[in-house]
Structure 1
Amino acid sequence: MEILKAYLDISVFGILGFMAFIALWMTLERLFYFKKVQPENYHHIELLQVDLTKNLTTISTIGANAPYIGLLGTVLGILITFYELGHQHTLETGAIMMGLALALKATAAGIALAIPSIMAYNGLMRKVDVLSAQFKAHQDLKTQD
Structure 2
Amino acid sequence: MDANTLALAQEIDFSMWGLFARATLTVKLVMLMLILSSVWAWAIIFEKIVAYRRARREAAVFDRAFWSGEPLDELFDQIGPEPRGRAQRVFAAGMTEWRRSHRGDGGMIANASARIDRSMDVAIQKEAEDLQRGLPVLATVASAAPFVGLFGTVWGIMHAFIEIAQQQDTSLVVVAPGIAEALFATALGLVAAIPAVIFYNKLSADSDRVIAGYEAFADEFSTILSRQLDS
| Structure-2-length-normalised TM-score | 0.55
**Alpha-carbon contact 1:39-1:131 (below 8 Å) kept:** no
Instruction: Determine which structure has greater relative contact order: mean sequence separation of CA pairs < 8 Å that are 6+ residues apart, divided by chain length.
Output: 1
Change (3 A) 1:30 1:5: closer
In the alignment, the residues of structure 1 paired with residue 170 and residue 46 of structure 2 have an alpha-carbon distance, to the nearest angstrom, of: 50
1:32 deviates by 2.0
Cα deviation, residue 12, structure 1: 2.7
Query: Deviation above 4 Å: which 4+ runs of structure 1?
Result: none
Report if the CA contact (8 A) 1:5-1:80 is conserved. Answer: no
- More displaced, 19-28 or 5-14? 5-14
Query: CA RMSD, aligned part only?
Result: 2.2
Moved more, 7-16 or 126-135: 7-16
Contact kept in structure 1, 2:163 and 2:174, CA below 8 Å: no
Aligned to 2:69: none
Q: CA separation in 1, counterparts of 2:196 and 2:173?
A: 35
- Cα distance in 1, alignment partners of residues 41 and 203 from structure 2: 12
Structure-to-structure mapping, 1:93-104, within 5 angstroms: 95-104=174-183
The answer to which of 123-132 and 96-105 deviates more is 96-105
> How far does the alpha carbon of each residue in 1:94-127 deviate from its partner, in whole angstroms, 9 at most, with x for none?
6435532331121111012100011111111011
Partner of residue 16, structure 1: 34
1:76-91 counterparts in 2 under 5 A?
Answer: 76-91=155-170
Post-superposition Cα deviations, 1:61-107, rounded to whole Å, max 9, x if no partner, equal 11211112211210111011010011122333664355323311211
Question: What stretches of structure 1 of length at least 5 have no aligned partner?
Answer: none
Answer with 38-47 or 128-137: which moved more.
Answer: 38-47
Distance in 1, Cα, partners of 2:164 & 2:137: 40
Structure with more of its chain in helix, by fraction: 1
**Which has the higher mean CA deviation after the structures are superposed, 53-62 or 43-52?**
43-52
Gaps of 5+ in 2: 1-21, 56-85, 91-119, 225-231
Aligned-residue offset at 1:36: 2.6
Within 1, Cα distance between the matches of 2:27 and 2:42? 22
Aligned with 2:50 (options 22, 32, 35): 32
Taking the aligned partners of 2:221 and 2:201, their CA distance within structure 1 comes to 30
Partner of 1:41: 89
> Residue 72 in 1 paired to residue 120 in 2?
no
Letter in 2 for 1:41: R
Query: Given the two structures, how large is their TM-score scaled by the length of structure 1?
Result: 0.84
For the pair 1:130 / 2:209, whether they are aligned, the reply is yes
Which residue, out of 17, 25, 28, partners 1:7? Answer: 25
Percent identical residues: 27
Q: CA deviation at 1:31?
A: 1.9
Structure 1 stretch displaced more, 54-63 or 25-34: 25-34
State the partner residue of 1:139. 218
* Count of residues in Structure 1 that have an aligned counterpart in Structure 2: 142
Give the greater-gyration-radius structure (CA): 2
